[in-house]
Amino acid sequence: MDIRLADFEGIKIQKYVIELDLLASPILNAKEKEFLAEFYDFLERDLDKDLRALEELNYYVEEPTQEKKREIVIRIMKKLAENGYYSTILNADEYEVGKITRNALIAYALCGGRWSDYSERYIAGNWSIEMGRLAGGTLYCNPVNYKATEPQKERLLIPVTKDGAVAASAMTEFNAGSDIFRMELNLQVTDDVVIAKGKKVFITNGMIADYIILYGRINNGPLGAVIVDTQNQQLKNFRSARIRTYGMNDAFVSRLIFDKVELPRENLLQGNGLDIAFHQLTEERLVIGAEALGDAMKKLLYSHTYALHRRQFEKRLHQYQVIRFPISANIRQLNLLITALINYTRELDKRPDLGGSKLMAAQAMGLKIQTTELAFESAVHCFRTMGGRGFIRQYSNPIGLLDPYCMIHGGGSNYVLEDSESRRFFKYKPTRREVEDIIPRIDL
């Protein structure tokens, strides 16, 4: 059953807003604009039909849609890979834009979409598809590329980077969310196999992934990582199921059960699990920042359009300051954060050693917090502006209204990050004099 009501007209974005067009931004250089423009063309030419088909499936209740969605998502990842947009680690010399800047530009454009002069309509983005791209193309590929041996790369990395096999990264467990040191999944290592036993939760792409980087405790001791080839999800003693989420409808967020799954010992990565997971943390935070900015742009465009057209009390909504001001404040904020993002990604591309800098990681974390809060705020404001319409699927689906709520937690919960950031700022070692001053007073 299609739940759309004919009386409700869709929101048609009709007006170009230069401040919301990244291609018009003075901060991007010519090469970056060229790369971005090519991606927008690809989005319209090769992905738009699939993205619209995915959206369409969200209006049919009482009908199974999971299989259809799975097919579409797998097809999209392949198309992204064929065009070099899934993972950006391969063939770096072929590009004039650095790999982290490319990763961020793709993320921004895939989440935000863009007004097309050619077809005179808005080509929508989809944050859950970008989440799937991030999980496979970055959270899987980057750590594997960092630690895998050449034969491991040939078997376990190339099928993902080149052919677009769906991949996932499995860290979170029921008792180990923010506090990943509490991970319990055991990786029992023998001479020829690794036996995985435990459960994972909230894993993007989990139930459609061909390859998963699985973190756990080596023989119940230190953290390590192993690659799981799921054999098209048919692997013995492995089970996966979708978690139904509000928002991120197409990201296939899943739970996984490893009930003594036997994996070849050759799939074990050398090195400490935390180092492997966190090696690419700065890039991940910047790419999530780019996603959030693309998403904020989309929400602002929808709020702007609705405010221009909707008439109440004989006036258009934009004639009320209470509607107008938050939109312009958020547009201003968006452009400031884009400037920061692009500067960080360019610098990291130029100086890869910055990937190991704690200060750079902290600043990327700050950007992740501010950008996802902006996406969140823009969604809240969009919801307010839309009135009752914001509450129904017919309007909230095309906008992806609930997507940014997830990203306050996804990729590291903002509250945990803020807490550790503020603790660091106030970290204080008392001088000897102060200690000597305090001790006698305590004795009293």
Ligand X SMILES: Cc1cc2nc3c(=O)[nH]c(=O)nc-3n(C[C@H](O)[C@H](O)[C@H](O)COP(=O)(O)OP(=O)(O)OC[C@H]3O[C@@H](n4cnc5c(N)ncnc54)[C@H](O)[C@@H]3O)c2cc1C
List interacting residues with ligand X (CB under 6 A).
135, 168-172, 177-178, 202-204, 248, 251, 253, 406, 409-410, 413, 415-416, 419
Q: Which two tokens stand for residue 69?
A: 């969605």
Task: Kindly tell me the sign of the dihedral angle through the C-alpha atoms of 73, 169, 393, 385.
Answer: negative
83 or 245, CB closer to ligand X? 245
Task: Kindly tell me the sign of the dihedral angle through the C-alpha atoms of 82, 84, 86, 89.
Answer: positive
Smallest gap, in angstroms, from Cβ of residue 412 to ligand X?
6
Q: Which two tokens stand for residue 108?
A: 């921004």
Please write down the HEC assignment for all residues of 335-402.
HHHHHHHHHHHHHHHHCHHHHHCHHHHHHHHHHHHHHHHHHHHHHHHHHHHHHHHHHCHHHHHHHCCC
Q: Which two tokens stand for residue 344?
A: 């960080």
Q: Which two tokens stand for residue 266?
A: 């050759």
d(CA 31, CA 52): 30
Helix-helix angle 99-112:281-309, to 10 degrees: 30
128 or 394, CB closer to ligand X? 128
Return the residue matching tokens 């452009």. Answer: 335
107 or 171, CB closer to ligand X? 171
Smallest gap, in angstroms, from Cβ of residue 403 to ligand X?
9
d(CA 56, CA 265): 44
Q: Are the beta carbons of 267 and 213 closer than 8 angstroms? A: no
116 or 272, CB closer to ligand X? 272
Encoded amino acid at 414, one letter? N
165 or 248, CB closer to ligand X? 248
d(CA 297, CA 109): 10
169 or 267, CB closer to ligand X? 169
Smallest gap, in angstroms, from Cβ of residue 261 to ligand X?
17
Max intra-chain CA distance, the chain: 80
Residue sitting closest to ligand X (CB)? 177
Smallest gap, in angstroms, from Cβ of residue 245 to ligand X?
6
Task: Kindly tell me the sign of the dihedral angle through the C-alpha atoms of 225, 231, 232, 233.
Answer: negative
Smallest gap, in angstroms, from Cβ of residue 357 to ligand X?
23
Encoded amino acid at 64, one letter? P
Smallest gap, in angstroms, from Cβ of residue 169 to ligand X?
5
Radius of gyration of the chain measured on its C-alpha atoms: 23
161 or 169, CB closer to ligand X? 169
List the alpha helices (DSSP H) in 29-147: 30-42, 48-57, 66-82, 99-112, 127-133, 141-147
Smallest gap, in angstroms, from Cβ of residue 250 to ligand X?
11
Smallest gap, in angstroms, from Cβ of residue 172 to ligand X?
4
244 or 311, CB closer to ligand X? 244
171 or 341, CB closer to ligand X? 171
Using alpha carbons, list the distances in angstroms from residue 36 to 98, 101, 407: 13, 10, 24
Q: Which two tokens stand for residue 292?
A: 């959030």
Smallest gap, in angstroms, from Cβ of residue 23 to ligand X?
29
Beta strand 186-189 pairing with 211-218: parallel
Smallest gap, in angstroms, from Cβ of residue 238 to ligand X?
16
Smallest gap, in angstroms, from Cβ of residue 209 to ligand X?
10
Can you spell out the DSSP letters for 154-180? Answer: HHHTHHHHTT---EEEE---SS-SS-G
Q: Which two tokens stand for residue 326?
A: 């938050």
Can you spell out the DSSP letters for 39-73? Answer: HHHHIIIIIHHHHHHHHHHTTB-SS--HHHHHHHH
48 or 284, CB closer to ligand X? 284
244 or 429, CB closer to ligand X? 244
